[in-house]
Structures are given as C-alpha cells and as structure tokens.
Amino acid sequence: MSAIAQRKDAAKYHAILEAAIKVMAVSGYHGAQVARIAREAGVADGTVYLYFKNKEDILVSVLRETISQIIMLSTWLEGDHPEPLLALHKLIEGHFTTLGRNPDLALVLQVHVRQSDPAIREQVADMMRPYHRMLERILVLGQETGVFRQPFDVRIARRMIFGTIDETVNAWIFTGAKYDLAAQTDPVYDMLLRGIGKGDKLSEI
Amino acid sequence: MSAIAQRKDAAKYHAILEAAIKVMAVSGYHGAQVARIAREAGVADGTVYLYFKNKEDILVSVLRETISQIIMLSTWLEGDHPEPLLALHKLIEGHFTTLGRNPDLALVLQVHVRQSDPAIREQVADMMRPYHRMLERILVLGQETGVFRQPFDVRIARRMIFGTIDETVNAWIFTGAKYDLAAQTDPVYDMLLRGIGKGDKLSEI
Amino acid sequence: MSAIAQRKDAAKYHAILEAAIKVMAVSGYHGAQVARIAREAGVADGTVYLYFKNKEDILVSVLRETISQIIMLSTWLEGDHPEPLLALHKLIEGHFTTLGRNPDLALVLQVHVRQSDPAIREQVADMMRPYHRMLERILVLGQETGVFRQPFDVRIARRMIFGTIDETVNAWIFTGAKYDLAAQTDPVYDMLLRGIGKGDKLSEI
Amino acid sequence: MSAIAQRKDAAKYHAILEAAIKVMAVSGYHGAQVARIAREAGVADGTVYLYFKNKEDILVSVLRETISQIIMLSTWLEGDHPEPLLALHKLIEGHFTTLGRNPDLALVLQVHVRQSDPAIREQVADMMRPYHRMLERILVLGQETGVFRQPFDVRIARRMIFGTIDETVNAWIFTGAKYDLAAQTDPVYDMLLRGIGKGDKLSEI
DNA sequence: AATGAATGAGATTTCATTCAT
DNA sequence: AATGAATGAAATCTCATTCAT
C-alpha cells in the first residue's frame, strides 16, 4: 500500500486501483487518463493524488499488489510443499488461477506494464525478483533431491518455465480470454517436464 | 517498404527507420519524439512525413521489416531443412542471431511494441502469424516423422517454444545485452527437447 | 451558449467569446491563434478548451449568439408591430444598431465568417434562415395588407433588402466605422421603399 | 498579368490561374494547397513560383483579371450607352452573365476573397473602386437627365444596387447555381427602380 | 479529506516556399 | 524554364497535476 494512503480510506484506495486496472485494460497505460480513472472510481480527479503520488505510482501499485499476491500464494506453497514437483505444479496453478480470475488485470500485467518508462520496468523487475528466486530454489531443490534430471542450467530452465507460463497467458488474452486458464495447468506442467523430444532422439544434433 | 517511399530515396528511408529504432530503444514509443528521430536521421522534421504517414507508421514499419526478415530467414530454413530437429535448431538460432546483432531493435521489438494502441498490436499479431504457423508445421512434421514424442498438444508446445525464446531474449536485454545471445541456442534447444523432468518420474503427480 | 459551458463560469465563457471577437477582427479567423485569444481573455490556453470544443466552435458560438440576438430583437418587433412598414423600419434599425455598437463583431460577421470551412458556412446559413423567413413574412404581410405594391417577387425583394443592409454595413466597416451606422436607417429604409426610379419612367425598357 | 510572367509561357500562366479558381472554389483560399493547384494545372510545385510571387499573388491575380474583365465590359457599355437606364440594365446583365457562366469563379469572388489577409482585402477594394465610380457616374447622369427621381443620396443608392446584385449572386451560389443567373437581370433591375413601396404610402413613417 | 476548474508545457503534423539538379 | 524533394516554422489540442475552496 502506498505510504501516502496509510492514514486514509483503504476502500477508496482500492477503488482507484481497480478502476485503474479496468481503464488501463481498455486503453493501455498511456491511453488511461487520470480523469477517467477517477470517474470510474467515483472520486474527483484531485482525490487520486491524495492516494497516489502520480500516474506512474498507480501502475506500480497495481503491479506491486498483484505480484505480491502471486508471490505470497507461492511462498506459502513452497513452505507447505517442499516436494519440488508439487511446488512447481502449484506455482503454475497459482499463476494461472490469479490471472485467470481477472482478465483485465492480466492484460495490464502482460501488455501494458512492459511499456511505460524504463524507471517503471526497473521497479517491476525488482518486484519480480523474489518470484524468480523462488522458482530457482524449486529447481535447485528438485535437482538435489533427484526428481529433476541432473545436468541443466537452472537459469535457462527458469526462463523456459516463466516464458512458457507468460506466453500461455498471452495467448489466452489475445484470443479473448474465453477458456479456463487454470485448466492449462496440467498440460503445461507436463510439457515442461517432458519437453518435446523422444528419449532416444535427444542427442542427434 | 512503405508505399509512400517507393519513388523516393531508399537510403533516407532506412536512415529514418534506424534512427527510430535507436531513439525508441532509449525512450520507448511514446517517449520517442519525431523531432528527435528526424535529427538522429539527419533530416528535417517534415521529411519524416514524406516517407511515413505518421509516427505510428514508423513503428509499424520497423516491425514489418524486422519480422519479415526473421520470417524470410526461417521460411528459407524450413524449405532447405525438412528435418524438423534441424529446422527447429535453425529457427532458434536465426531468431537469436537476428536480435543478438541489434540490441536496440530487440528492445523495441520485445518491449515497446507491446504498448501503443490496440491497432498496432493487432497488426503485429497479423505479422507474427506466419511465424507461428511455421513453428506449428515443424512440430506436426516432427510428430509425423517420429522425431518428437507422440502425444502432445501442438499449440502448447508452440507456446512453450516461443515463450522460452522470448523470455531468453528478454533476460538478455534486461541484463544489458552483454553476452552473446546466439550462444544460447544450444542449451535452449536442448532444454526444449528434454524438459526438466527425469524419464522415470514424469507421471508421479 | 455552448453545452460544455452550462455548468461552468459564464463570465469566463463570455470573456473568451469577446476576446475571440477582438482577435478575429484584427487577424481573421485563420489568423486568430487560440493562444492569443486565451491571453486576451486572461485565461490559460487549456481553459479555452473547457468552454469550447475547438477553435471552430468559438467562431460558431460568436455567430450563434449574435445572430440569435438580432433575431430575438426582430422577432419581438414582429410580434409587437404587425404593421409591416414599421416592422421593416425596426428590423433595419435593429440590425444597424446591433452591429453599429460593436464594429469588431461586425467585422467578424461580415468578413471572417464567410471564409473558413464549408461546414461553418452551412451552420451560418442554418442560423440565418429564421432571419430570412421573418423578412419574407413581413414582405408577404405588407403585400396582403396593401402597404407594399402588389406584384413583386418576395425572394427578390428579400435579397434586395438584405443585400442593401449587408452592403451598407460593409461600406461602414471598410471606411473605418467612423460614422453612426444607425443613422443610416432612415435613408436606407426610404431608398428600399422608393427605389431609384421615377414613377413615370419605370417601364421604358 | 503578373510582372514575373511577362516573358514566360502565357498558357501555363492561365492554366495555373484556372486551376487555382477550381481548387479554391472547392476548398477556399486557406484550404487550397499550392501543391494541389500545381497538380491540377499539370505543373510542378516550383513552377507556380515562376509565375506568381506567392500564394496570395495567385488569389489577387484571379481577382484582378476577373474584376478588370467585368469593368472593361461595363466601361465599354457606359461608353456605348450613355442612356443611364440602359447602362444600368447592361451593367447588371454583364455582372450576372460573367459570373453566371463560371460558378467556380463566382464562388471564389463572393466567398473566398473576403477572407484572407487585410492586405488582400485592401487590394480588392482598390480594384473595385473603378466599378463603384462607374456606378455612381451612371446614377449622377440619371439624376441630371431626369430619368431617376431627384433627391436621393448617390452613395446609398450605389450600395443598394451593388448589395442587391451581390446578394442575388450569393443566393444563386448557395442554392447550388442551378438556375440561369442572367435571367435575374430584369426582375432585379425592376425591383431596384421601383423599390417595394406604393407611391402613396411612402412618407408614412 | 475532497473537489474539480484551471493550468501550461509539450508534441504531432501541415504546407508554403526554396533550391540543387 | 522546369522540377519536386526537402525544409522548418508554426499552431492546435491534450492531459497530468495543482490549489483555492
């Protein structure tokens, strides 16, 4: 929660945040006018600035809240399920479930975040770091406990997993978010474990 | 090439295009002022509008030229290498090589495109379609010829491959494009074929 | 009054309108920069756009207000003075008085309106229609009640009257608006009634 | 003819002039781009500047040629027909005939001239002066020879005549130039001579 | 705390004019 | 004489942010 808002009306704070998600989903970050966000939230233009430092702060706050939600969910899973295979499955499921529930949020996260100023991207990267760290811890643990195959580069595996999740969400959004995203968990999980190759053909090149 | 520029100076056309890539890499699409692009290209502001309909047309042209370059390269590979494993390897290599050579272009493609108006995203999607189609053809052929394992969903595999490539480029950009992107080809290719699992553990969950 | 301005400061609305008349009188419609109008009105550039949709809307609003003022004045006269001779006299007097009081407005109305886009001229024509209708009603009534001579084409008479009024205002403006325009009422009225011919010479050609 | 063009191709000069009339009739003075005039005339943009000093010079030249045509015609009439009634009739007829033949020219003359810069209006006023002088000479002669009624102000009569002609042309243009303008000569002439009043009612007010 | 009218910096785009060929 | 690509000044309009109420 933004420092400014600590002493103020939490309901209004979240109303603005949700209005921002809705407006940005339609118009993108640059297209989202503060005035429209304010109207959508049912407050005056100036009120927005009582809760957020500026427009950029709104976007960053949306991201902070969402990412921390995904991470909290996943951290909890990591603690409860030290079994790496299960942890990975639950991580994917958590990611798909969180975004699958709120397509507008997903759109903002997948598309609109990546624009905006470098400063924002920097902040987003910082926020994502714990998520990536956690994914790497799962992978290392999986290798150590022997449930994953031994010799692979953890960073490359992490990028494959994150990239696949990301692209799956993207595809879901761009086809109109019509099907159940969470239902993609099992096939994606399976695909990530097996790869596309056959055991006996892997060293051909 | 933009229709407008057909009869004019092709050198100037490309100078503006490259200036645009450079400026957008630094400032993003919305941050890139036409005046700065013009100065970078060494032409007057108005000259830009002799070669491009408007600012959006510049971005779209950058994308069109780059994507068509990647696709032409890949189509060629597909034709020459009907061996799916090799074709896939070359596709990844082509993608990494093209973007690895020009980090500014990569930044625009990976980051700045995804913003802007829905109209642009629509156009980008249209331009990417042949690329995705080709990837799917390789996968189907690989299944039919038995070099890939049999029962997987081609669309999910395609998303894994594209997502992994994409995220690999992203990671390379955000760490400053310091290492050789093309060198990622082999480990990424290998990871996509094998997945992260061990053969005997795959059906545990 | 412009719909936009309904809920806002009416004083500021009129200040901008009068500033626009002043600036347009000097520089014409195309020469009148919004920035100069704003400065003349003592508001910021952006404020103008809180009260008017765009520059064209300013000009149209000037016209709407002025014409409706002349018409309201004249409609009132028509109701009160069913005597056609008197009504005509008062109509001319009203026209000359309204414009005679505000040479800048007259200049905009006589000169600058007629330029601009066809869309504006269309709107002006629409606004003038009630004026012309009213003039025709006076003429018809005058014929029916026998105070005007019988067999003349009402439209031609209307054009003569309007053209003469118009040209009288024009001449007044172009000679520097130095004399009292309203004082032209009687001689013009007299000229329109009598024509320039002698009763016994009229059918010579 | 413009001084610049003296030594050059007269056909091209007139081609540009007529192209300008056509383009201005559609788009107005400010809307008429030099490039479009050039294309319409079948010459390059730069060529226009070999024949005319600048865009304003084109408009002024259009006016000069047209007005001088009307005036030459009328001067000739005045010389040939010292009979004031006939001279007036021929003047109106000449005006209506000249413009009636070329609605585009009429549109430029009636509508688009009146905009533009004060400098142009000044020049137009200068060009019109001989026309107004001639009209006044006809009126004075008519009074002296007793074919017009005696005591009227010549300037007011002149404005009535010119205003009526002008408004008649305007009405013709704005209704789409569909009927024969020259056919208005007789009724307009008649109306100007008789006025709208009845002989016995004229001094009532 | 809340309002929303006012601000004004800033960027795209047009188009008359020039000048090297 | 003719061309037309290049120029660059100039002006409208938007919208994040402020501040008096």
Is B9 near strand E, with its CB below 7 A from some atom of it? no
Q: Are both A45 and A144 inside the same structural domain? A: no
* Measured distance CA(C39)–CA(A115) in Å, rounded: 37
The residue among D196, D200, D204 with the most chain C CBs within 10 A of its CB, best to mutate, is D196
- Grouping H, G, I as helix, E, B as strand and the rest as coil, residue A152 is coil
- CATH code for the domain in which residue B158 is found: 1.10.357.10
The pLDDT of residue C204 is 43
**Cβ pair B166:A164 closer than 8 A:** no
By CA distance, what is A156's nearest residue in B?
B188
Is residue C188 one of the residues assigned to a domain?
yes
> Chain C, 58-117: which have a CB under 8 Å from a chain D CB?
85-86, 89, 110-112, 114-117
The pLDDT of residue B80 is 63
Phi and psi torsions of A197, nearest 5°? -85, 165
Is residue D203 one of the residues assigned to a domain?
no
Q: In the predicted model, what is the mean pLDDT of chain B?
A: 84
The pLDDT of residue B37 is 96
Query: What type of residue is A197?
Result: G
Residues of chain D with pLDDT under 70: 1-8, 74-81, 111-118, 198-205
The pLDDT of residue C83 is 86
Lowest mean pLDDT among B34-38, B70-74, B92-96, C5-9: C5-9
**Cβ pair C197:D31 closer than 8 A:** no
Per-residue pLDDT of C12-62, as tens digits, reads 999 999 999 999 888 888 889 999 999 999 999 999 999 999 999 998 898
The pLDDT of residue D179 is 95
The pLDDT of residue B172 is 93
* Measured distance CA(C159)–CA(D188) in Å, rounded: 9
Q: Are both A31 and A100 inside the same structural domain? A: no
D167 touches chain C (CB under 8 A): yes
Per-residue pLDDT of B137-172, as tens digits, reads 999 988 888 888 878 899 999 999 999 999 999 899
Per-residue pLDDT of C61-80, as tens digits, reads 988 888 888 777 777 666 66
Q: Are both B31 and B69 inside the same structural domain? A: no
Q: Are both A180 and A84 inside the same structural domain? A: yes
Provide the shortest C-alpha distance from residue B14 to chain A (in Å): 25
From chain C, the residues in CB contact with D165 under 8 A are 163
The pLDDT of residue C5 is 47
From chain D, the residues in CB contact with C29 under 8 A are 115
Question: What residue has token string 């150590």?
Answer: A144
The pLDDT of residue C147 is 87
Q: In the predicted model, what is the mean pLDDT of chain C?
A: 84
Of D190, D170, B164, B204, nearest to C201 by C-alpha is D190
Give the count of Cβ contacts less than 8 A between chain C and D. Answer: 177
Q: Are both B103 and B158 inside the same structural domain? A: yes
Which residue intervals of chain D are DSSP H helices? Answer: 10-31, 34-41, 45-51, 55-80, 84-101, 103-107, 118-144, 154-174, 185-194
For residues B180-200, give the mean pLDDT.
86
C174 touches chain D (CB under 8 A): yes
Per-residue pLDDT of B32-87, as tens digits, reads 999 999 999 999 999 999 999 999 899 889 888 888 777 777 666 666 657 888 88
Radius of gyration of chain A (CA): 19
CA distances A44 to A16, A35, B122, D49, D87, Å, are 11, 8, 34, 56, 73
Predicted TM-score (pTM) of the model is 0.81
The pLDDT of residue B3 is 47
* Residue D164 backbone zone (phi > 0: left; psi -120 to 50: alpha; other: beta): alpha
Provide the shortest C-alpha distance from residue A120 to chain B (in Å): 12
From the list C89, C115, C197, the residue facing D30 with the nearest CB is C115
From chain B, the residues in CB contact with A116 under 8 A are 28, 115
Is residue C41 one of the residues assigned to a domain?
no
Q: Are both B116 and B67 inside the same structural domain? A: yes
* Measured distance CA(A24)–CA(A105) in Å, rounded: 9
Relative orientation angle of helices B10-31 and B34-41, to the nearest 10 degrees: 140
Is residue A14 one of the residues assigned to a domain?
yes
CA distances D20 to C118, D29, D104, D105, Å, are 17, 9, 10, 10
From chain B, the residues in CB contact with A24 under 8 A are none
Q: Are both B33 and B69 inside the same structural domain? A: no
**Cβ pair B196:A164 closer than 8 A:** no
* Residue A54 backbone zone (phi > 0: left; psi -120 to 50: alpha; other: beta): beta
Is residue A149 one of the residues assigned to a domain?
yes
Is C46 near strand E, with its CB below 7 A from some atom of it? yes
- CATH code for the domain in which residue A20 is found: 1.10.10.60
The protein residue nearest nucleotide E7, judged by CA to C1', is: C44
The pLDDT of residue A109 is 79
Number of domains, chain D: 2
Is residue C76 one of the residues assigned to a domain?
yes
Q: Which domain holds residue D27?
A: 7-52
D129 touches chain C (CB under 8 A): no
**Cβ pair D111:C112 closer than 8 A:** no
The pLDDT of residue B113 is 65
B175 touches chain A (CB under 8 A): no
Is the confidence at residue C161, as pLDDT, over 50?
Answer: yes
Is residue C104 one of the residues assigned to a domain?
yes
CA dihedral A68, A70, A76, A78 (to 10 degrees): -120
The residue among D159, D184, D185 with the most chain C CBs within 10 A of its CB, best to mutate, is D159
Q: Are both D102 and D145 inside the same structural domain? A: yes
* Measured distance CA(A164)–CA(C104) in Å, rounded: 70
Residue C50 CA distance to nucleotide E5 C1' (Å): 9
Q: Are both D40 and D112 inside the same structural domain? A: no
**Cβ pair D148:C197 closer than 8 A:** yes
Is residue B48 one of the residues assigned to a domain?
yes
Asked if residue C31 lies in contact with residue D117, where contact means CB atoms within 8 angstroms, the answer is yes
A125 touches chain B (CB under 8 A): yes
The pLDDT of residue B195 is 82
From chain C, the residues in CB contact with D205 under 8 A are 85-86, 89, 189
B52 touches chain A (CB under 8 A): no
From chain A, the residues in CB contact with B167 under 8 A are 159-160, 162-163, 166
Q: Are both B129 and B93 inside the same structural domain? A: yes
Highest mean pLDDT pick, C5-14, C104-113, C145-154, D13-22 = D13-22
C200 touches chain D (CB under 8 A): no
Higher pLDDT among residues D17 and C6, named by residue: D17
From the list C146, C160, C162, the residue facing D191 with the nearest CB is C160
B149 touches chain A (CB under 8 A): yes
Higher pLDDT among residues D26 and C6, named by residue: D26
Radius of gyration of chain C (CA): 19
Q: Are both A94 and A76 inside the same structural domain? A: yes
Which pLDDT tens digits describe chain A residue by residue (205 residues)?
Answer: 444 544 467 899 999 999 999 998 888 888 899 999 999 999 999 999 999 999 999 988 988 888 888 777 777 666 665 788 888 998 999 899 989 998 888 888 776 666 656 677 778 888 888 889 999 999 999 988 888 887 889 999 999 999 999 999 989 988 889 999 999 999 999 999 988 776 544 444 4
User: Hey, how many other C-beta atoms are within 10 angstroms of the C-beta on B49?
Assistant: 15
D160 touches chain C (CB under 8 A): yes
Q: Are both B77 and B88 inside the same structural domain? A: yes
Q: Chains C/A: 3 or more C-beta pairs closer than 8 A?
A: no
